[in-house]
């Protein structure tokens, strides 16, 4: 498992070029079906628009196949719209993302160079409005300690590169930790040390999770 970069949720931004409006909409997607559904959602919301240009990049295709890259000029001159939009996503190193740039024609022709600049800038401003995150291989652990040890564990967690997802107080203290895969062994070793080996841990899940720049 290796890390990858994507966006969280959605983002939208708008520019105007010679009276034409360019509305760029970005979304995190994980399948081609999700990408196409987002495209149809934008088309439905902008039925009066002249063009809905799109580009998407996926880590995986259908049925676990290799990644997929698609774009469309949607009636604009070839390579003046979809490809520039795609290149913005590629230059940012993004995957599992779709961008739809909607154009409301303002009556002034932009020419090939003007179209490339407008669609590029539309995608760029939408990307600036998005929350870009790094998705890292992560482990989710279920842990349990006796009540007298909980204070020591809490103190240790403050300085460890973990996210405490939940805690439950029954006959013992059960808690769930999210740890980057690269940090997992050192975190478990530290918790074992501070509890003198009196901690139970169970690997519940391995997955990609978002870690922002402020994470430990």
What is the per-residue pLDDT across 42-51, written as a single tens digit (0 to 9) for each?
Answer: 999 999 999 9
**How is the chain split among helix, strand and coil, in percent rounded to 5?**
35, 40, 25
Element (H, E) at 99: strand 97-104
- Whole-model pTM? 0.78
pLDDT digits (tens, 9 = 90+) for 88-136: 999 999 999 999 999 999 888 899 999 999 999 999 999 999 999 989 9
Does some domain include residue 46?
yes
What pLDDT shows up at residue 60?
Answer: 80
pLDDT digits (tens, 9 = 90+) for 139-178: 999 999 999 999 999 999 999 999 999 999 999 999 999 9
Nearest Cα neighbor of 36 from 73, 71, 60 is: 71
User: Quick check: 48 and 106 in contact, CB under 8 A?
Assistant: no
Residue pointed to by tokens 């690269």: 182
Same domain assignment for residues 28 and 10: yes
Sequence-separated (6 or more) residues with CB below 8 Å from residue 45: none
Among 91, 109, 129, give the residue marking a domain's end: 129
What pLDDT shows up at residue 49?
Answer: 94
Domain that holds residue 81: 4-129
Same domain assignment for residues 152 and 207: yes
Same domain assignment for residues 12 and 92: yes
Residue 124 phi, psi (nearest 5): -65, -45
User: Quick check: 157 and 141 in contact, CB under 8 A?
Assistant: no
Does some domain include residue 216?
no
Same domain assignment for residues 122 and 177: no
Residue 97 phi, psi (nearest 5): -145, 145
pLDDT digits (tens, 9 = 90+) for 54-65: 999 999 865 555
């Amino acid at each position: 498992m290796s890390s990858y970069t994507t966006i969280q949720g959605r983002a939208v931004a708008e520019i105007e070029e010679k009276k034409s409006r360019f509305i760029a909409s970005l979304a995190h997607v994980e399948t081609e079906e999700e990408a196409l559904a987002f495209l149809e959602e934008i088309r439905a919301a902008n039925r009066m628009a002249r063009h809905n240009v799109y580009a998407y990049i996926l880590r995986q295709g259908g049925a676990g196949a290799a990644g997929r890259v698609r774009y469309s000029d949607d009636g604009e001159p070839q390579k003046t719209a979809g490809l520039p939009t795609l290149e913005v996503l590629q230059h940012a190193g993004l995957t599992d993302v779709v961008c739809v740039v909607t154009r409301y024609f303002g009556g002034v022709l932009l020419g090939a160079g003007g179209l490339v600049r407008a669609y590029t800038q539309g995608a760029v401003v939408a990307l600036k409005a998005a929350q870009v995150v790094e998705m890292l291989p992560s482990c989710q652990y279920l842990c349990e300690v006796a009540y007298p040890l909980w204070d020591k564990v809490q103190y240790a967690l403050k300085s460890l590169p973990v996210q405490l997802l939940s805690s439950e107080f029954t006959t013992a203290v059960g808690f769930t930790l999210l740890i980057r895969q690269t940090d997992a062994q050192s975190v478990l070793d530290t918790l074992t040390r501070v509890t003198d080996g009196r901690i139970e841990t169970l690997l519940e899940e391995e997955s990609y999770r978002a870690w922002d720049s402020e994470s430990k």
